[in-house]
């Protein structure tokens, strides 16, 4: 709470007159992004065992994708099982055909961004073909800051963030990528004092003096 209160944009969300915590702060340990392909070499791992939700594709909750994927795929699986009630192989193939591309792209997008975020926390930067960065870093560090500057960019970036498009679609959208690139000169740095420095943040997160 002390740390969140220190971010100018986040502070109102935890202000006493707005919000009342319903629990203590709860730790989330050892989060791992995981994608368990339904098919390995075009064959099932265990015939008749279908996985949905986090057991199929677990992504950092920061992205808020897990429940959407779980519910969506759960309904699809129900429909597919009704369609092929006594053919687990057909169920598996239909389910994999419908979900594998999206689930794997979600896993990859989140895993790549988490990898780059860890680099950033160490004071390093990713390297790649997207303004010198990886695509994941380009989305986070270049695309997101331009959302408030351009309606079309905002629409595409927000569609991706809310999984209305496949996570990779933005990388193929030359027009929007070009706009994001040319808007970089207009992105203003965070206003002085609006976010804590690393040292200040570590101090806030540490034990109270």
Residues in contact with ligand FAD by the rule CB under 6 A: 28, 53-55, 61, 64-68, 70
In angstroms, give the least distance from the CB of 33 to ligand FAD. 12
For ligand FAD, the closer CB: 20 or 199: 20
Q: Comparing C-alpha atoms, which of 65, 56, 59 is closest to residue 112?
A: 59
Q: Comparing C-alpha atoms, which of 103, 186, 168 is closest to residue 130?
A: 168
As a dihedral over the C-alpha atoms of residue 168, residue 173, residue 176, residue 182, rounded to 10 degrees, the angle is 100
In angstroms, give the least distance from the CB of 71 to ligand FAD. 8
User: Where in the chain does DSSP place strands (E)?
Assistant: 34-35, 39-40, 43-44, 57-58
In angstroms, give the least distance from the CB of 51 to ligand FAD. 9
| Distance separating alpha carbons of residues 62 and 165, to the nearest angstrom | 18
Q: Where are the alpha helices (DSSP H) in 40-150?
A: 66-83, 88-121, 135-137
In angstroms, give the least distance from the CB of 23 to ligand FAD. 11
For ligand FAD, the closer CB: 33 or 126: 33
For ligand FAD, the closer CB: 69 or 142: 69
In angstroms, give the least distance from the CB of 185 to ligand FAD. 34
For ligand FAD, the closer CB: 34 or 131: 34
Residue whose structure tokens are 């689930």? 103
Encoding tokens for residue 40?
Answer: 């390995």
Residue 184: Cβ within 10 Å count:
14
For ligand FAD, the closer CB: 32 or 197: 32
Q: What's phi and psi for 71, nearest 5 deg?
A: -70, -45
In angstroms, give the least distance from the CB of 70 to ligand FAD. 4
For ligand FAD, the closer CB: 54 or 150: 54
């Amino acid at each position: 709470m002390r740390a969140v209160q220190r971010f100018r944009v986040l502070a109102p969300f935890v202000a006493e007159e707005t919000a009342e915590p319903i629990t203590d702060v709860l730790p989330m340990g050892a989060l791992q992004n995981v994608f368990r392909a339904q098919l390995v070499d075009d064959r099932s791992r265990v015939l008749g065992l279908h996985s949905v939700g986090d057991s199929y594709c677990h992504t950092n909750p920061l992205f808020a994708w897990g429940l959407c994927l779980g519910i969506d795929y759960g309904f699809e699986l129900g429909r597919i099982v009704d369609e092929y009630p006594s053919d687990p192989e057909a169920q598996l193939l239909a389910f994999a055909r419908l979900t594998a591309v999206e689930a794997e792209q979600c896993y990859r997008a989140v895993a790549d961004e988490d990898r780059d975020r860890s680099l950033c926390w160490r004071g390093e930067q990713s390297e790649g073909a997207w303004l010198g960065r990886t695509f994941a870093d380009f989305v986070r560090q270049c695309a997101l800051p331009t959302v408030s500057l351009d309606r079309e960019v905002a629409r595409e970036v927000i569609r991706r963030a809310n999984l209305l498009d496949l996570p990779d679609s933005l990388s193929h959208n030359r027009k929007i990528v070009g706009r994001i690139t040319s808007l970089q000169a207009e992105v203003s740095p965070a206003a002085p004092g609006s976010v804590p420095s690393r040292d200040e943040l570590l101090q806030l997160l540490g034990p109270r003096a």
